[in-house]
Amino acid sequence: MTFIRLAACLSAATLAFAAPAYAQNSEGNSVTSPTSPPTAEKRDYSYTHHGITISDPYHWLKDQSYPTIDDEDVLDHLKAENAWFETRMAPQQALVDELYEEMKARVKEDDSTVPQRRGEWLYWSEFEEGKEYRKHYRKPVSGGDPVLILDENGMAEGHDYFRLGAFSISQDGRYLAYSTDTNGSERYTARIKDLETGELLADEIPGIRTNLTWVANDKALVYGEANENWRTLNAKVHYLGTPASEDIEIYTEADESFGVGTGLSAQEDWLIIGTGDNETSEVRLVRADDPTGEQILISPRIKGREYDVDVRDGTLYIHTNDDHVNFRLATASLDNPGDWTTLIAGSDEFYLDGFELFKDFYVTEGRLRGLDQIQLRSYADPNLVKPVAFTEASFSTGLSNNPEYDQDRLRLSYASMVTPDSVYDYHVATGELELLKQQEIPSGYDANLYEVERIEIAARDGTMIPVSIVSRKDREQGGPLHLYAYGAYGFAYPPSFSTTRLSLVDRGYAFAIAHIRGGDDLGRNWYLQGKLNERTNTFNDFVDVAKGLIAKGYTKQGKISASGGSAGGELMGVVVNTNPELWGAVVAHVPFVDVLSTMLDKDLPLTPGEWPEWGNPIESKQAFAYILSYSPYDQVVAQDYPPLLVTAGLNDPRVTYWEPAKWVAKLRELKTDDNELLLKTNMGAGHGGKSGRFASIYEVAEEYAFILWQMGEAD
């Protein structure tokens, strides 16, 4: 339920197709190219906790009026870093352009999603050639012409940044509620469109952070708003035609570390109000046709217990970790919602990470030996299980968009590191998998040129770490290798397909994903072994995988490039401190590197909800000391560091811009080498960088150009 540092990390360098002019600064004004990197001023600042005093001379890079960022010294420094980035990358412009054109040529520009039914309509979206954003359409199931219901391109005009958030069709199909963000701050504004008339209603709800849930027979919406610290601590009802100032708060969360979210039950008759942090949750139900009515508390929160709920024909289905770390599925009655009876017991082998209810069957999703599983199950016979079978040794799959309760076929997504993104319908009665669409690569793609391996490498404590590797079959043994990982919040980074990745692989790289602890790739314990007081397992796993790949002959020391974003950027910060000799180049996207200072600042957007993940150094001396022992910014020392490219977003509420800025400033002060150190701050974007599909590709091209340049692979 909380707002975590889960990174898309597909940020962008520029909008449109053309490359930016490196003789311009971030505001587009001509400047003189700098001849040396910027040096941040050191200003006296320190803080003391638990008798330990920490000096932080770059604390001033945090604008003290945040979230307003108007300190000219801060802005001037970030602009100077951007100018240095532009100057140093300028000689690589031809390579950036080459990579960008390669990547763009793999994108089907006039692409569309597979239509899916909801009620009496089929819905889908399309990209037009050359456009950055989608157009959304529908047409009657009974036949008729497509109707454009939303054009993101028109909405994005005049904005350097645009992101569509919620997209919610009313149950009767008449209204579309949606939300947009035009600066990357993740404070969305909601609007409502009448799809019968095409008119936009006067209703406007600013500052929301969540989805938009239709209730009260399509006369109202439930949402959560962002408070001044970006936290969502409530659920409110907005009735159509009334001002947002009159919206009714139906739930208020007292614990500022929790976050609130809402949704509908499978039969859309109950509004589900959930609240929780990274380890504890609590759920309430209220009739969807009477959202301000009496609420049913399923079970009071118990620290460390997670559960989520759905309802079918008056029976509650509860997915919980109360008696097994890998979760069980239980049932209960609405009359006695806290009395849970096991339907599917927790398993050491099968990690049950979710379920979905349909009219005649239900589906469980999870992982078995680290591989995604989709299982159809019978309400009448809990022992009857029909797994959806796939044949590749490593893949990523899951339920896709299935908006109707009465389904005779299931929409699934599927990909592997060599199989492009695929959309299937699974026919429930026959078990047939019908391929509806596979990602088209206009410039050509031959899967037979590539091979995928899934190996295991022993970490220093003997734990075997899975690694997924894709390479060309004709790759030279011991050649360059790119290593990627995330390793936090129980997010299992999938072994899926990437068209941009081919630009490295086709140049002789192997691309490896390390499924390190901190994710839940091998079950919930895998996640628990990489959080709180076991956080350093995550970093050790990544280093040990790199060393193991060298020992097995996949590559050589210094021929490994590495990247990660957000919490994965923290990983990059740690491993360049502990093992700088391993890496030929490192890219850290919006890196969470000032861990100790952030966890000490309870007024930052995420901090209270993050304490169950990292520890609370305010209350615990042990947590303070442990975080200090690995926090990348605090552990920078006078030594050689590998070449580094670091990115940031000025409006990022998840990893605030000053974390990478402070880290780079300290690295410039202390590092003893002449290797490249570049910081690029997107001045009008947030955690995911600039928006738009081609804009995001451009920044990947910049990243890969930096890697190839520093690894000596550029022409």
Quick check: helix, strand or coil at residue 600?
helix
CA-wise closest residue to 222 among 297, 291, 293, 171: 291
Return the H-helix or E-strand segment holding 356. Answer: strand 350-357
Cα within 13 Å of Cα(437), Cβ side: 15
CB 261 within 8 Å of CB 210: yes
**Is 324 part of the annotated catalytic residue set?**
no
Angle at which helix 693-710 crosses helix 93-105, to 10 degrees, equals: 130
Please give the Cα distance from 664 to 579 (Å, whole number).
Answer: 18
Q: Which residues contact 256 (CB under 8 A, 6 or more apart)?
A: 229, 231, 233, 608
CA-wise closest residue to 692 among 107, 149, 211: 107
Please give the Cα distance from 52 to 57 (Å, whole number).
Answer: 16
**Is 640 part of the annotated catalytic residue set?**
no
Q: Which residues contact 55 (CB under 8 A, 6 or more apart)?
A: 45, 46
Please give the Cα distance from 59 to 563 (Å, whole number).
Answer: 26
Q: Which entry of 179, 521, 652, 696 is annotated as an active-site residue?
A: 652
**Is 503 part of the annotated catalytic residue set?**
no
Structure tokens that stand for 265 in this block: 């039950």
Quick check: helix, strand or coil at residue 105?
helix
CB count within 10 Å of CB 327 equals 28
Structure tokens that stand for 284 in this block: 């309430």
Q: Which entry of 416, 687, 691, 696 is annotated as an active-site residue?
A: 687
CB 150 within 8 Å of CB 165: no
Q: What is the dihedral of CA 619, 623, 628, 633, to 10 degrees?
A: -80
For residue 40, what is the DSSP state?
Answer: P
Q: Which entry of 566, 597, 691, 696 is annotated as an active-site residue?
A: 566
Structure tokens that stand for 54 in this block: 């920490």
Could you give the residue numbers annotated as active site? Answer: 566, 652, 687
